[in-house]
Amino acid sequence: MAQWEAVIGLEIHVQLATQSKIFSAASTAFGAEPNTQACAVDLGLPGVLPVLNYEAVRMAVMFGLAVNAAVSQRCVFARKNYFYPDLPKGYQISQYELPIVARGQLEIALGDGSYKVIGITRAHLEEDAGKSLHEEFADSTGIDLNRAGTPLIEIVSEPDMRSAKEAVSYMKKIHSFVRYLGISDGNMQEGSFRCDANVSIRPAGQKELGTRTETKNLNSFRFVERAIDFEIARQIDVLEDGNEVVQETRLYDAVQDETRPMRSKEEADDYRYFPDPDLLPVVIRPEMLEEIKQQLPELPGEKALRFTQEYGLNAQDAENLVLSKEAAEYFEQTARNTNAEAKRVANWVTGELNAALNQDDLEIASSPVSSSMLAKLLNRIEDGTISGKIAKDIFRSMWAGEGDVDSIIESKGLRQITDTLEIETLVNQVVRENPAQVEQFKSGKDKVFGFFVGQVMKITGGKANPQQVNRLLREKLK
Amino acid sequence: MVMEELSVQQLADGLDSGQFSSVELVRHFLHRMQAHRHLNAFISELHDRAVMQAGHADRQIRERKHGPLTGVPLAHKDIFCMSGERTSCGSKMLDNFIAPYHATVVQKLEQAGCVVLGKTNMDEFAMGSSSENSYYGPVRNPWNAECVPGGSSGGSAAAVAARLVPLATGTDTGGSIRQPAAFCGVTGLKPTYGRISRYGMVAYASSLDQAGPFGKSAQDCAYLLQAMAGFDEKDSTSVDAPVPAYLAELNRPLQGKVVGIPDEYFSTGLGSEVRTIIARAIDWAEEQGCIIKDISLPNTELAIPAYYVIATAECSSNLSRYDGVRFGHRCEDPKDLHDLYHRSRSEGFGTEVKRRIMIGTYALSTGYYDAYYLKAQQVRRLISADFNAAFQDVDFILGPTAPETAFRIGEKTDDPVTMYLSDIYTISINLAGLPAISIPCGIHEGLPVGMQLIGNYFAEDKLLNFAHQYQLATDWHQQCPPGFQQKRQGC
């Protein structure tokens, strides 16, 4: 049996966070009543003309600079012609021969400490189409043109990825970039960030590419991973059965967890691209480029490097933290307001906080435990008021809205017992009440020591300072 | 006083001095419009709206809040969207389309106080040179009802020629203002591409389409152009350059101006009578002290093929929006989506429109794009270069507007290529984006002849200046087609 190698390229569509559409003044806000945010231009009425929203150009340039790409001095909008009811003009204004962003690249972490560079072929500006609503109406299709004309950048990668994991890690990196740059809300449920995955396989070692399929409109990292894994397995089956992979467009069905053909090549459109005569070529002057460069925010790579230098984090922790701009900010605010060491702060953010957010399906911005609350909690560990274990309980109480750390410590009496006399009394009591275990310990069974610690903790409800308990027990049992 | 013979300046004076009111003026022209419906110059007559607008104009005049065009009647080619009114573009496809907004041209002329009497007939989607390709039937030439008025703005040209309205708007993609102006004996100007906003003007070929004025004289056109021209933020291809005061430029002397005569515009295909008449106009220019210079525009013969690739390519895309989904003609009981598209478009478009959509679709297809569309764009640059070279040495280029006078209705409908050739002298100007004016300069066998004067970019003022000087010396522009003069009372 041959060893197969998967070859994957992604086309990521990112909705830009402009106030108005790319070629009209209509609002881009999500969730309005159908067709209430579509003006004459979006409806493609006779005689209307597109006028470019330069904010979209600016955002695309920011992206280009962030991925070290060549930003074109002159780019041209082209018409992509095809008929579809939710495409009002019968063509989509996109870019074809002269896109705004040319060749760039991005480095992804492979999780084993190594890195890989993924090539970015190009990124171009285009308008989104409207939405067809097939479910709402019996025997007919509804058209909602609110989304028509929403600005997008389509980021096309080189076929540089070799596994679904790599593809997801590339997509996450792009996601974090657009969030850092503030050019997209990156909301995947609302379709602001979605991708098409081109997948082919070939025998390992072969240079020439296999026939690829394109799986459309994947709007979660999980779906991307599953759809690609499914496609790889399917194509291997097809080839090993002696058949050929058909070049086609496929759709991923999350319920069945499989991809299915959408349309085959026989029906492939000829888009008849040509430069849009209604729009002038966009000229990006060096001064404009320089100005945007000056205004670029700190990007994940730089931030991770700074975290290792400024906070002494290791590279892996720093990488994990900066994946989300909000998490990185949360970390930094917490670290600034606590005496606890940065490593501990990082562990709490990527550990307890992250787990709680995932469990309740919350964004960090709506976390019930703010960074200042977490900082205070960590301070209480640091000053010995509570143990790390109790801190986790208190975190859950704070998460549940039971108040801040000090009030919870007071109301639940969770203050750590550090009074040596008090602990000593308890140690004496435990040793006295368990003569059999004392015998065992003294005959060399070291493990029994844990039993005594547990007993003390049990009596104190976990509040006894563990270091002191240990020390006093050792002295007593010596 | 014969109202329909008055110039715009005389109309403005008459309104200003209270000699007549706008309502009187408008009623007079509406009456003429009704009396001459056989010309089929109008698709929509806007009686009630016009009288109301005129009443409003009269109030403004009484309150002394008026401009030179306040209360002056006007017709719009039915290609300009007008809020609340049908904008058909001469097509069954848009027969039911009520525009929800004003074109910028309509907006500007409304602000200037013009009163819109109606919307004029035209070739469907401005595709044609005879105004026969209209869903509403052919327009007739006021000089001879058996002849075409030219196209595509034939309704506007015929309406001005027959004195049904003093001013009209038109659009020109390959000669659609100048050729009908020549055929009907009126003055028509195609401005520089970008001089007038295209917003709200139904698109035929976006890189060539340009709106412009029709009037009895260059002076009348100057009034209208003044109100139409200017940058519009809604049209990215409109040019943000100052608009000169056109009327102030009309009286400059022509002494010393260099007039280029392109060899290629006087070769085979030009009728000998038209040639003779144009020669007389050249003689006149020389008498004014102009320097006449022979020039060459070597790529002229490539203009028609290049045009019919570029214009059709753009139109095939521009007309995709007419799909029966949101507005316009929709077929009965579509079986499915494909049937909806197929029948709505088959039923809604006429033959010439379908022909051009098919040619353009073909020219843009994979495998043909380089050979047709790209090649045509290269030819377009060569044609522009010809003109740029010529304008290094000359102020104007002068020649005939069309090779012959108006042809008979039906004469060329079966032969599209012959029809296309009637635009041979006008098309290259659109490809280059230059301004040009057609001026009446003679009559042959009862039909008007027009000369075309081409200027450099944004030289509309110079073109109007030349034309006005010519019209001060001649009376071709004052000739009224027989049967359209009012019986003069008391003389």
- Chain B residues with CB-CB distance to A51 below 8 A: 233-236
The 10s digit of each residue's pLDDT in A47-100 is: 999 999 999 999 999 999 999 999 999 999 999 999 999 999 999 999 999 999
Q: Tell me what pLDDT residue A262 has.
A: 84
Q: Mutate which of A22, A272, A278 to test chain B, going by most B C-beta atoms within 10 A?
A: A272
Residue A406 has pLDDT above 80, yes or no: yes
B207 contacts A83? CB cut-off 8 A: no
Mean pLDDT, chain A, as a whole number? 91
pLDDT of A407:
87
Are B27 and B48 within 8 A, CB to CB?
no
pLDDT digits 0-9 by tens, B181-194: 999 999 999 999 99
Q: Smallest CA–CA separation between B78 and chain A, in Å? A: 12
d(CA B436, CA B188): 9
Residues of B in contact with A38 (CB under 8 A): none
The beta-strand segments (E) located in A189-296 are 193-203, 213-218, 248-253, 258-264, 274-275, 282-283
B101 in contact with chain A, both atoms CB, cutoff 8 A? yes
Which A residues 35-74 touch B at CB under 8 Å? 40, 43-52
Q: Would you state the pLDDT for residue A469?
A: 87
CA distance B241 to chain A (A): 16
pLDDT score, position A367: 93
Which residues of B are catalytically annotated? 77, 152, 176
Q: How confident is the model at residue A2 (pLDDT cuts 50, 70, 90)?
A: low
What pLDDT score was predicted for residue A456? 87
Chain B hits for A88, CB-CB cut-off 8 Å, are: 321, 325-326
pLDDT for res B487: 58
| A412 pLDDT tier (thresholds 50, 70, 90) | confident
pLDDT at B71: 98
pLDDT confidence tier of residue B168, bands split at 50, 70 and 90: very high
Q: Band the pLDDT of A463: cuts 50, 70, 90.
A: confident
* Proportion of chain B above pLDDT 70, given as a percent: 99
Q: Is the pLDDT of residue B408 over 80?
A: yes
Nearest residue of A to residue B365, measured between CA atoms: A272
B364 vs B378: CA distance, rounded Å: 15
Whether B80 has its CB under 8 Å from any CB of chain A: the answer is yes
Average pLDDT over residues B24-50: 97
Confidence of residue A410 (pLDDT cuts 50, 70, 90): confident
Nearest-by-Cβ selection for A85 from B94, B236, B337: B337
Q: Do B87 and A270 touch (CB under 8 A)?
A: no
Alpha helices (H) along A215-363: 221-240, 286-295, 300-311, 315-322, 325-336, 342-348, 354-360
What is the average per-residue pLDDT within A111-138? 90
- Give B-chain residues touching A46 at CB under 8 angstroms: 81, 87, 89, 94, 97, 99, 202-203, 321
Say yes or no for a CB contact (<8 Å) between A277 and B366.
Answer: no
Give me the DSSP letters along B224-245: HHHHH-S--TT-TTS---PPP-
Enter the DSSP assignment of A198: E
pLDDT at site B156: 98
> How long a stretch of residues is chain B?
491
Is residue A352 predicted with pLDDT exceeding 60? Answer: yes
CA–CA distance, A182 with A452 (Å, rounded to integer): 55
Candidate from B94, B205, B236 with C-beta closest to A46: B94
pLDDT tens profile A206-257: 999 999 999 999 999 999 999 999 999 999 999 999 999 999 999 999 899 9
B207 CB within 8 Å of a chain A CB:
yes
Minimum CA–CA partner of B86 in chain A? A46
Whether residue B491 has pLDDT greater than 50: no
- Count the Cβ atoms, other than its own, within 10 Å of residue B429: 27
CA distances A350 to A178, A319, B358, Å, are 21, 11, 61
| Cα–Cα dist A119/A159, whole Å | 8
Of chain A residues 266-295, which have a CB less than 8 A from chain B? 270, 272-274, 277-280
Mutate to test the interface with A, among B88, B193, B309, B318 (most CBs of A within 10 A): B318
Q: What is the mean pLDDT of chain B?
A: 96
Tokens 């430069």 map to which residue? A275
Please check whether residue B201 touches A, CB under 8 A: yes
Please give the average per-residue pLDDT across B233-246, as a whole number: 97
* Residue A83 distance to chain B (closest CA, Å): 7
- Write out chain B residues lying below 8 Å of A272, CB-based: 316-317, 361, 364-366, 369
Which residues, 6+ apart, have CB-to-CB distance to A212 below 8 Å? A7, A198, A199, A200, A245, A247
0.80 surpassed by pTM: yes
Q: What is the pLDDT of residue A458?
A: 87
Q: Is A444 on the interface with B (CB under 8 A)?
A: no
Instruction: Tell how strand B42-45 and strand B258-262 pair up.
Output: unpaired
Taking one residue from A and the other from B, the number of pairs with CB-CB distance under 8 angstroms is: 97
Q: Which residues of B touch A132 (CB under 8 A)?
A: none
Burial string for A248-271 (b: 16+ CB within 10 Å, else e) reads: bbbebeeeeebbeeeeeeeeeeeb
Structure tokens given for A10: 């992604």
- B98 to chain A, closest Cα gap in Å: 10
Q: Averaged over A175-195, what is the pLDDT?
A: 94
More confident residue, A9 or A114: A9
The pLDDT value recorded for residue A188 is: 93
A333 Cβ contact list (under 8 Å, min separation 6): A371, A372, A375
Of B201, B325, B369, the CB nearest to A47: B201
Confidence category of residue B490, pLDDT binned at 50, 70, 90: very low
pLDDT > 90? residue A284: yes
Tell which residue, A410, A336, A420, has the closest CA to residue A378.
A336
pLDDT of residue B178: 98
pLDDT exceeds cutoff 60 at B132: yes
Q: Which of B198, B326, B337 sits opposite A88 (nearest CB)?
A: B326
Q: Which residues of chain B neighbour A91 with C-beta distances below 8 Å?
A: 317, 320
Evaluate if residue B489 carries a pLDDT over 50.
no
Give the three-state DSSP class for B192: coil
* 0.90 surpassed by complex ipTM: yes
Q: Are A49 and B101 a contacting pair at CB < 8 A?
A: no
Are B317 and A90 within 8 A, CB to CB?
yes
C-beta of residue A203 within 8 angstroms of C-beta of residue A4: yes
